[in-house]
Amino acid sequence: EGELPLEETGTGRVFVAGTYGPALATSRAFGDTTAKQVGVTAAPEMMATSLSPGDKVLVIASDGVWDVMGEKQVIETVLAYAPQKDAEMAASVLVQACRLVWDGIAGEGDIIDDISAVVIFL
């Protein structure tokens, strides 16, 4: 209740019942106290794993990355910057590469997902 159909909004957004704003993209629930008042919660998808001595990099990224690149391609992209341990450049290049993919698949007026990445060389 309170969410307009996808056909009307073009994306999954949550609205306060009976209004057209403020609107919250469903993936943007973290820390939104207004949305919390109307029942939106932020239950993140999480995975725990143990690092091994051979691990070289940790990549934390939004679905704007994972929707257009597989794990192997992401790792190959960022590992090019491992010798310099330039995590900032690795993340920037990764985000730019994903944007190029999105630009190639998005039609005129289509929404391009957020593309965020953090790279940590271990």
Please tell me the distance from the alpha carbon of residue 41 to that of residue 28, in angstroms, as a whole number.
10
pLDDT in tens, 82-120: 999 999 999 999 999 999 999 998 877 777 778 999 999
Structure token digits, residue 35 = 């949305």
- pLDDT level of residue 7 (50, 70, 90 thresholds): very low
CA atoms within 13 A on the CB side of 119: 25
Please give the model's pTM, rounded to 2 decimal places: 0.66
Number of Cβ within 10 Å of residue 43's Cβ equals 6
Structure token digits, residue 120 = 């940590």
pLDDT in tens, 36-89: 777 766 666 677 889 999 999 999 998 899 999 999 999 999 999 999 999 999
pLDDT > 60? residue 9 = no
Alpha helices, H only, 10-122: 33-37, 63-66, 71-79, 87-105
